[in-house]
Structure 1
Amino acid sequence: MIKNIITGFILLAAVVLLGSSCKKDFLNKGPLDQYSEENVWKDSALVNRFVMDIYSNLITTYDYVGSYNSINQGFLPADITDEAQSNFPGGTADLINHGQYNAAANIFDAFWSLPSSGGFHQNGAYENIRKCNLFLSHLEDMPLSTKGKEQLTGEVRFLRAYNYQLLYSIFGRFPIISKVLSMTDDLNIPRGTDEACRAFIIDDLDAAAAVLPVAYGASDVGRITKGAALGMKCRLLLNAKQYAAAATAAEAVMNLNVYQLFPDYGALFYPQNDDNAEVIFNKEYGSDQSGQTHTLDLYENAAFFTGFFSPEDVPTQNIVDQYLMTDGLPWDKSPLYNAVQPYANRDPRFHASIIYDGTTWKGQVIDMQLGSVFNPTFGSPSLTGYMFRKFLNPGYVFYGNNTNYQNCVVLRLAEIYLNYAECQLKLGNPEEARKYVNLLRRRAQMPEIAAGQMTWDAYVRERTVELAFEGERRADIRRWDMGATLLGTTIYGVGIETVDGARQYTRTVVEKRTFEPKMYYFPIPLAQLQKYPAGKVLEQNQGW
């Protein structure tokens, strides 16, 4: 990340843990004898590297893949929505989708606190938050110019807000910690109110937006910008259903006039297009200096390419059904639909996002029939008859030291357009919403929605396909209160047979999922509750 800033990044793991006296098991993770805490805050290069470590430990959707959390296999966030299916039956995603979990399962515990032993490889949110607070507490000690301190403070306040926003999206209300705690402090901090939690995040994002630049030079690409702070504020306000305020935040992003839609929807996620003009904020990978990697290409491609059990996650027929035909009609209402060739004449975003039977991928025509070399019966055959294409690098090499890992786009202009459109629909301005939805349909080379035809259902479908698999689906479903129909639903796949030399495609049931309203948020992990003494127990989410 921020490839020309960091030198010798590996040493940073040592720097960040100085002063963390209650976490001695982590003190052996770097050469602590090289720097004292006093020296760190007096050296501008080390201060920068400290901040870079917080960047590197941000949790994104790519960090789920191939990792092992506190229970079982890693999984994409899409797997716990109608978009995708974990391809490892009985894993964490299945526990969630079948309602077979509780606080004792400690699902997402590693997101809250520290990495579990042999587990999730990123720091938990509160470890990152502590680093942000530690930085802010030493601000006066740093040998930086006033402008330098201002910029780094803005970045760190964004990073703190990002981590709190992650907690808020998973668990809801959280304990607000705004300073470095010592053993003399009361460590049994209760969860804040919804209003207090949102206000704290927004205050950090506003402070960041006030001082951060709109853009950087080439050597600093990847650092947080004013647009990133305003965009994350827009996301938070939308999820809180504060539509007027969210619309204002979206307008503030658009009025910066620095972002534009990338012309090729599929290629905007390729490594050669990292940091393109549509990207507002992403996590940077692939730097030889930072050593950051992810395992997306290794775990989401067919075993034919990877040489081991994969793919880990697979798209559902449910999401396939959401892609319109090229005439702008749903598949079951369009004269273009052909049951013998069900994937022809689909929204180009479908072809850019999903590997289906007959796809050409990495120079191969993919045969998804069970028992083919691309979908063998052993290992991890696709449970749905599909595989991911979106996010994957078509040039990835599955051997040697390949560090060409694509960035994870956290926030892009298309989401801001959709957020603004949703706000305008909720505020009674469908024609204004239509304008921004049509910008996306035009990019996708799909028919535009005609005047007077901008409906809520059309908006939901557009958001579903444009942002497919990007990690915000569960928050969308919660905001729309559609958990019963989109989370507690039947998941479908496709069965593929060859009869008399011709393909036959049959809709199949993969699993039936469970939903209760309490499942909009996850329980506070028991491991965290047990850290509080009797009489000061952390409040559990309702129903758990």
Structure 2
Amino acid sequence: MKKYIILLLFITGISACQKGFLDNGPLDKLTDDIIWKDSSLVNLYLANIYAGITSEYDRAGGYLMMSLTDEAESNRPNQQSHLVNFALHNSGTGIFSDEWTSGYVSIRKCNQLLEQLQTAPFSAALTQRMKGEAYFLRALFYMEIYARFGRFPVILKTLALTDELAVPRGTDQECVKAMTDDLDAAARLLPARYTDATQTGRATQGACYALKCRLLLNTRNYTAAAEAAKKVIDLKQYELFPDFSSLFQPGNDNNVEVIFDKQFGSLQSQQRHYMNDFEYPRNFTGFASGIDDPTQNIVDAFMMKDGKPWNTSPLYNPERPYDNRDPRFYSSILYDGIFFRGEILDLMRGSAANPSERGTPTGYYLKKFLDTTYDLTGITIPNFNNCIIMRLAEVYLNYAECQLQLGNPEEARTYVNMIRSRAGMPPVPAGEMTWEKYVAERTVELAFEGQRWFDICRWKKGPEILGQPIYGIVVSEENGKRKYTRTKVEDRTFISPMMYLFPIPLTILNKYPAGKELGQNPEWK
């Protein structure tokens, strides 16, 4: 899609104001008749819907999903993630309000596109593809809302002023049906792959099935989720990328493992993010970066290379605690003593990489998504590497979880071992595939990718994981030798099952008139 998205960011306004968005001589009177009959303009409109996707990279500089879990701690004391971690958020704090408001803006665009395509004078193939993309994108935006807030108003048409605008929330069954119906419709209309490289980044059948699998897994419909995962696998369009360490590097954008991603890098579309600027260690950027910092909790989750936990493996050496780890550890986390971008990283408090003010509170920095070739000579230079939203390894793990829940551990073991083999870790032996081993594998393979919060909610493990203390490491030096001391960073709170959903923001509730209230999530009232 880097080649597919075209200039005119202000196409955003087309859905609300189809006249006068260009002011160039004869083009100053663009009407519906012109816009919706011009395939290039409609492609612009569709491109703008894709641009409305909020990825983890778009959240950089605000707060990443990892800092709402035991994966990371923000070094910014005023971050909203701290409100969630201390159970201090409420309807007035507006957590994820953009996911609701911008989500419905994009949903309205999808609805309008679907309606206009009914009479658009385009080829059958082009019309079919665009309809499929609109169904897929509408489901994606609804899923982002549903994952955070639960039930939502199901709106499947463009609302006019004469329509009832105070649409009530649907039931869980109605919401899930709306999303799965859209994904099924999209899968029927979209190709398994695009032969034209300029179409890279568009939704495909595989993206539809993978998104449906994620949705149904999170609703704990294991049979249907397994079926959706198997459809992705049986398409045979994807493979595990052989090198995990470079999977997220821009040179490998759109690799064989990627099912769907948010495309950045089009100079025409101006799509960009600031992940590298905000997450690189301080000594590389020269300003207060390294915002979301991995915890000792997640470091401990990475096994030793013999497949055993750090506290039971004979390979663990407290004087060199980072030796002999799962190879994915070295690709995911920056730790004291790692050689990175031409230097050995010093994370002792007060160092250039870990200054006393706004250094890393945990003793670690994120590595997984950082572009190791990124030019750090300037400040806030646009970042263009893509953000993977769904990849084959997640589908394998989703399928394995379903098989465990359905009583088929050996089938689950097959797919877990595929991932472990790629990582360079020993396989799980026959008869030893347990739930604990599955969770451990999912935790490190998908670390920081934005799914852990939803995993924990699905497993109903909020008190056991989200409500537990966060730990870090203090690096010191004694007699010329490094010393690593585990330390508590903060106590976190998970007070009630109500926290599995976020409160609907007050700004949204207030848009509904008296007598037609939207309704707050249970206990958040």
Length-normalised TM-score, structure 2: 0.96
1:82 counterpart (70, 77, 82)? 70
Distance 1:398 1:156 in 2: 38
How far is the alpha carbon of 1:362 from its aligned partner? Answer: 1.3
The secondary structure found in structure 2 opposite 1:150 is helix
Distance 1:238 1:470 in 2: 17
Corresponding position of 2:6: 7
Q: Tell me the amino acid that sits aligned with residue 79 of structure 1.
A: S
Corresponding position of 1:389: 367
Q: Which string of whole-angstrom CA distances, capped at 9 and with x for unpartnered residues, describes residues 402-441 of structure 1?
A: 6552100000000000000001000111011000000000
Q: Which string of whole-angstrom CA distances, capped at 9 and with x for unpartnered residues, describes residues 329-364 of structure 1?
A: 000000000000000000000000000001111111
Asked if the contact 1:493/1:507 (under 8 Å) is kept, the reply is yes
Question: Number of aligned pairs?
Answer: 519
1:424 aligned to 2:412? no
Distance 2:385 2:43 in 1: 23
Is the alpha carbon distance of 1:300 and 1:395 closer, same or farther for their aligned partners in structure 2, counting shifts above 3 Å?
same
Corresponding position of 1:110: 98
Corresponding position of 1:117: none
Q: Which string of whole-angstrom CA distances, capped at 9 and with x for unpartnered residues, describes residues 9-55 of structure 1?
A: 334234343269xxxxxx99999957333321011100011000000
Asked if the contact 2:5/2:268 (under 8 Å) is kept, the reply is yes
The secondary structure found in structure 1 opposite 2:57 is helix
Asked if the contact 1:157/1:208 (under 8 Å) is kept, the reply is yes
Q: Tell me the amino acid that sits aligned with residue 30 of structure 2.
A: Y
Distance 2:411 2:511 in 1: 50
Aligned positions of 1:81-480 closer than 5 A: 81-113=69-101, 124-216=102-194, 217-378=196-357, 380-399=358-377, 405-480=384-459
How far is the alpha carbon of 1:473 from its aligned partner? Answer: 0.5
How far is the alpha carbon of 1:308 from its aligned partner? Answer: 1.0
Q: Tell me the amino acid that sits aligned with residue 56 of structure 1.
A: A
How far is the alpha carbon of 1:451 from its aligned partner? Answer: 0.5
Asked if the contact 2:14/2:21 (under 8 Å) is kept, the reply is no
Q: Which string of whole-angstrom CA distances, capped at 9 and with x for unpartnered residues, describes residues 440-459 of structure 1?
A: 00000001000011000000
Is the alpha carbon distance of 1:30 and 1:285 closer, same or farther for their aligned partners in structure 2, counting shifts above 3 Å?
farther
Asked if the contact 1:288/1:403 (under 8 Å) is kept, the reply is no
The secondary structure found in structure 1 opposite 2:235 is coil
Asked if the contact 2:226/2:398 (under 8 Å) is kept, the reply is yes
Asked if the contact 2:53/2:141 (under 8 Å) is kept, the reply is yes
1:35 counterpart (30, 38, 43)? 30
Asked if the contact 1:103/1:524 (under 8 Å) is kept, the reply is yes
Corresponding position of 2:42: 47
The secondary structure found in structure 2 opposite 1:492 is strand
Distance 1:88 1:34 in 2: 48
1:56 counterpart (47, 51, 54)? 51
Moved more, 208-217 or 396-405: 396-405
Where do 5+ consecutive residues of structure 1 fail to align? 21-26, 67-73, 114-123
Asked if the contact 1:14/1:29 (under 8 Å) is kept, the reply is no
1:542 counterpart (503, 522, 525)? 522
Corresponding position of 2:469: 490
Distance 2:493 2:29 in 1: 53
Distance 2:295 2:33 in 1: 53
How far is the alpha carbon of 1:204 from its aligned partner? Answer: 0.3
Asked if the contact 1:494/1:505 (under 8 Å) is kept, the reply is yes
Q: Tell me the amino acid that sits aligned with residue 80 of structure 2.
A: T
Q: Tell me the amino acid that sits aligned with residue 306 of structure 1.
A: T
2:501 counterpart (521, 529, 536)? 521
Q: Tell me the amino acid that sits aligned with residue 46 of structure 2.
A: V
Distance 1:30 1:360 in 2: 54
Distance 1:169 1:429 in 2: 27
Asked if the contact 2:5/2:266 (under 8 Å) is kept, the reply is no
Distance 2:292 2:29 in 1: 42
Corresponding position of 2:60: 65
Q: Which string of whole-angstrom CA distances, capped at 9 and with x for unpartnered residues, describes residues 200-223 of structure 1?
A: 000000000111111112111111
Corresponding position of 1:70: none
How far is the alpha carbon of 1:6 from its aligned partner? Answer: 2.8
Q: Which string of whole-angstrom CA distances, capped at 9 and with x for unpartnered residues, describes residues 485-538 of structure 1?
A: 111110000011011100110111111111021100001111111111111111
Is the alpha carbon distance of 1:28 and 1:86 closer, same or farther for their aligned partners in structure 2, counting shifts above 3 Å?
farther
